[in-house]
Amino acid sequence: MAEVDPEIYGLVSSEFARQRDGIELIASENFVPLAILEAQGSILTNKYAEGYPHKKYYGGCEFVETVEEVAIRRACDLFGAEHANVQPHSGTQANMSAFFTFMNPGDTMLAMSLDQGGHLSHGHPLNFTGKLYRIVGYGVSPETETIDYEAVERLAKEHRPRVIVAGASAYPRFIDFSRFATIAAEVGAVFMVDMAHIAGLVAGKVHPSPVPHADFVTTTTHKTLRGPRGALILCKTKYAQELDRSVFPGTQGGPFMHAIAAKALCFKMAATDEFRTYAAGVVANAKKLCAALGERGFRIVSGGTDNHLILVDVKGSRNVTGRDAEKLLEDAGITVNKNMIPFDKEKPFVTSGVRLGTAAVTTRGMGEAEMERIAEIVDRVLSAPEDESLRIAVRKEIKELSEAFPLYPELLQTPSGVRAALSPLPRNS
């Protein structure tokens, strides 16, 4: 890469340095193990494999279809599912395929509103869901900022949706999957869960699983699951044939076999005791960071967290918008994202909140002591938004903290190390 395209190589190297030297608190991001980087960069990227194992449309698939079979088996074993489709390229594509399995244009979907913590692919007007389906949104109670299940039940009985969706992109509490399933059964709706954010916590046995309760479960394979960028759909056996048709040829053609190999590695790693320890650490770190921020006067949406995610009302706590808080912290070496909070009065690209997550810092080996230190630094930066010199000083602190928990310690932290990570070849080639 360095020889063929120095410009792109330089940008990749700069991104490597950014990840290495900063603190990553974006709740949807993580650092994949080196083995997964290797699979993602493998020669499997060369192979077309449209169709499913033993029903491929191309020749020469004897090895890659076995990779896919291994990934399917491991996914089912990991989550206790009856059927898995490992081909979706992204979480939104996984949701699209699931919806296409049981919905027609004009059908009604009951899902969590984006401004209350939901996801774009659960009914935003500019998303395919908002264009194809009639969307009814549910949200949280103004008093508790947790899901208002009585309102969900009332809306379900009023609108008789074809599908009820549970799952969110900015909701820090447990979701009562059993209650959702009961409501869906009462109105004859399909029950689907998008567990993209919590999949690693479910796999690690530190979060309730939706699989026993839902007809369909979709998830990304990155985030807390710590795998490659991609997605997965789980379902009951009775839906398997229709679901597979919805994925291929319904919504995509050739699967990314290098990504499916990386997913297989991810599922194997997530079934270990080591991963369960990691998942427990993610939750413990989130609770500690949440408590430490609360002690410093930050208002935490819903009053706490049950998972990896914290939603902080920075406008109410420090009179800075989410957009400004994101930029201030980025200047100091901490990456977060602005995020709407329930009943937010700011615009979506301004927001009153920021969303924090502990999956990536836990991967680097940080613990509760580091969460206390990060909370103290966040407090200093957001309490003095005009003090540029403070942010410069803090950035040095963040780099020192990061160096104590090196990213990919297996590699020499040099451009040649980056190259080795990005361009792996079989050792005996």
Which of these is catalytic: 24, 68, 148, 194?
194
Q: How far apart are CA 344 and CA 120, in angstroms?
A: 17
Confidence of residue 84 (pLDDT cuts 50, 70, 90): very high
Instruction: For residue range 205-217, list pLDDT tens digits in order.
Output: 999 999 999 999 9
pLDDT score for 416: 52
Residue of 212, 371, 360, 174 whose CA lies nearest to 288: 371
Q: Average pLDDT of 145-167?
A: 98
Cα 409–chain centre separation: 24
48 in catalytic set? yes
Tell me the pLDDT tens digit for each residue of 243-285: 999 999 999 999 999 999 999 999 999 999 999 999 999 999 9
Task: Round to whole Å and give the CA distance between 322 and 70.
Answer: 43
Share of the chain above pLDDT 70, in %: 96
Residue 224 pLDDT greater than 80, yes or no: yes
Distance separating alpha carbons of residues 262 and 88, to the nearest angstrom:
13
Structural domains of the chain, with CATH: 21-32+273-403 (3.90.1150.10), 37-270 (3.40.640.10)
Catalytic residue from among 92, 101, 146, 220? 220
Q: Catalytic residue, from 20, 47, 173, 223: name it.
A: 223
- Answer yes or no: is pLDDT of 428 > 50: no
Lowest pLDDT segment from 115-129, 346-360, 382-396: 115-129
pLDDT of residue 273: 98
Residues 6+ apart with CB under 8 A from 58: 48, 49, 50, 51
Q: pLDDT digits over 11-60, tens only?
A: 999 999 999 999 999 999 999 999 999 999 999 999 999 999 999 999 99
Nearest to 42 by CA among 362, 278, 257: 257
Query: Tell me, what's the pLDDT at 411?
Result: 74
Known catalytic membership, residue 396: no
Catalytic one of 9, 21, 29, 50 = 50
Task: Determine whether 133 is an active site residue.
Answer: no
Confirm whether 229 is a catalytic residue.
yes
